[in-house]
A and B are shown apart, each in its own frame.
Chain A
Amino acid sequence: MGEQENDLDLATLNDDELVQQMHDDLYDGLAEEIDTAVRILLDREWQPYDILTKALVEGMRIVGVDFRDGILFVPEVLMSANSMKAGMKILKPLLAETGAPKMGKMLIGTVKGDIHDIGKNLVAMMMEGAGFDVVDIGINNPVEKYLEAIEEHQPDILGMSALLTTTMPYMKVVIDALVEKGIRSDIEVFVGGAPLNEAFAESIGADAYCRDAAMAVETAKEMMSRRQGSASAAMAGSG
């Protein structure tokens, strides 16, 4: 199988075959092949936005499903996400130029007192992999830092993570500050981390508890399609 793929000349495929091959290459985490394929589609005068949704996002949707179902594992998904990024690197400036609709923007960071960021980083990578703009403000964020970053970046989603039972109550401090500033309804708040559960998320007034990175992506897509209405729902869902 490997040899055959090495011999495959992507340029000889018709559009449908090429998009199909891109789904497979994303699945296999082949960054160079994705880079090449994106360039071929651009040469064929595809709209950057169509490449993003039909080839990349749809490919990553399949990856997400198999990750959720335990068929793919963390290192494989990271390779897929990196391949997606290779494609996005080319598309990003073009998308901005053409004024294409945005997938959505997420601001993410661990809360004050909590420096555990592996889970947060996985979520950031998977969200980027799904085509979202991700602003990562790192670890140990006091409420002021969240508010500043929200004002600067105007995200659709705020993601907070905590690994400790001592630090997770701080999520409520941040949410309460959003309410106080009158911007709570402008932003969806996702929370996650090992000690959390749905009941906790509900009790602090978050919009969603995301058990893992795949769940965060799924929830974000659902949320964005609710926000943007049915046109983009079709885009994010079926590709």
Chain B
Amino acid sequence: MTDTIISSATKEVVIGFDRPFVIIGERINPTGRKLLAAEMAEGDYSRVESDALAQVEAGAHMLDVNAGIPMADEPRILAEAIQLVQSLTDVPLSIDSSIVEALESGLAVYKGKALVNSVTGEEERLEAVLPLVKKYGAAVVAISNDETGISEDPDVRFDVAKKIVERAADYGIPASDVVVDPLIMPIGALNEAGSAAFKLLHRLQKELKVNTTGGASNVSFGLPNRNGLNGAFISMAMASGLTSAITNPLHAEVMTSIMGADVMMGHDPNCTRWIKKYREPSVEGEGGGRESRRRRGRG
């Protein structure tokens, strides 16, 4: 049992084996979103604002914030976006950049304990990112690749993940603050992408005892009805040990799969959250006086 605690100034989210799945909203990311990229580069954060609110409204427990815009001042933009999102909502954030200076400027303004996204097994990255994670008392996403590339062999990826966890320990970062990203590959190009991910997730939970996350939507790249596949993948991945995902909470199929898998895993006792979300509104004149009875809130 491993709990990873991420927080904002006022709210704590726990990623853990025996807990409801944690949904990290992926939308605040200009990669592949031309309009958002152009607006953010010009200091217009209105779409960041609406994306943040919509995702929380749809059920995101955390939000990922990325400002990866070519030729822009990413450290400044990322810090500004983080401050804005933290002023709008109390969900904890994942600070997402491949530029170390941007991670640092984001961490410097962040209120609470952030999730740093990400470090890889590459020596240079480990040495640059882990001290930052330690300095700010954050948690970190560990991507299971290194200088040699992304192995298709889940056992090789496991070894990379293990190395990162060990290196983090050298810096005084506990394994509970390392959330491993197994690197979800497109199934349309690699038929073994699903089974490799499930095998790796299983080992990460049973042997390395770490929490996990990942870009779940990658799995459906280049295919039709992506949300359908994303949902199927996520529920199977959850059964294999995936404890959080960076995904789009605005997609109903994906949310249904996650909430349904939570029920099946026994992480939604008495199906309380499922019922609350999907109960049909009672038709007027029916329902045996549900409205009139005094009901105690159960969550």
Enumerate chain A interface residues (CB-CB to B < 8 A). 73-75, 78, 115-118, 121-122, 139-140, 164-168, 194-197, 199-200, 203
Q: Are B71 and A199 in touch, CB under 8 angstroms?
A: yes
Q: What are 28 A-B pairs with beta-carbon distances under 8 A?
A: A73-B188, A73-B222, A73-B224, A74-B188, A74-B221, A74-B222, A75-B222, A78-B188, A78-B189, A115-B145, A115-B148, A115-B149, A115-B150, A116-B150, A118-B189, A118-B221, A122-B189, A165-B68, A165-B74, A166-B98, A166-B99, A167-B98, A168-B70, A194-B31, A194-B32, A195-B68, A199-B71, A200-B70
In the docked arrangement, what's the CA distance between A114 and B158, Å?
20
Q: For B66, give the chain A residue with the smallest CB separation.
A: A165
Chain A residues in 8 Å Cβ range of B138: none
Distance in Å from the Cβ of A197 to the closest Cβ of chain B? 6
Find residues 179-224 in chain B having any chain A CB closer than 8 Å to their own CB. Answer: 185-186, 188-190, 221-224
Task: Give Cα A116–Cα B34 distance, bound, in whole angstroms.
Answer: 22
- A74, B71: Cβ atoms closer than 8 Å: no
Best-buried of B31, B185, B223 by chain A (most CB within 10 Å): B31
When chains A and B are docked, how far (Å) is the Cα of A98 from the Cα of B117? 55
In the complex, what residues of B have CB within 8 A of residue A73's CB?
Answer: 188, 222-224
Check B147 for interface membership: any CB of A closer than 8 A: yes
Q: Are B150 and A140 in contact (CB under 8 A)?
A: no
Minimum Cβ distance to chain B for residue A49 (Å): 31
Contacts A75-B223, A195-B68; A165 near B188 (Cβ below 8 A)? no
* 8 tightest A-B CB contacts, nearest first: A74-B222, A74-B188, A200-B70, A115-B149, A165-B68, A166-B98, A164-B98, A75-B188
**Chain B positions 15 through 29: 1 when the CB is less than 8 Å from some CB of chain A, otherwise 0:** 000000000000000
Rounded to whole Å, the gap between the CB of B127 and the closest CB of chain A is 14
Which residues of B lie under 8 Å from residue A164 when comparing CB positions? 98
- In the assembled complex, the Cα of A195 lies from the Cα of B32 at a distance in Å of 7
Give Cα A195–Cα B66 distance, bound, in whole angstroms.
12
Does B150 contact A117, Cβ atoms closer than 8 Å? yes
Q: Are A165 and B149 in contact (CB under 8 A)?
A: no
Residue of chain A at shortest CB distance from B151: A115
Taking CB atoms, residues of chain B closer than 8 Å to A121 are 189
A74 lies within 8 A of B189 (CB): yes
Q: B145, B149, B190, B223 — which one has the most chain A CB atoms within 10 A of its CB? A: B149
CA gap between A78 and B98 in the complex, in Å:
30
When the two chains form the complex, which single residue of A118, A139, A196 contacts B70, counting CB atoms closer than 8 Å? A196
Inter-subunit contact B148/A165 (CB<8 Å): no
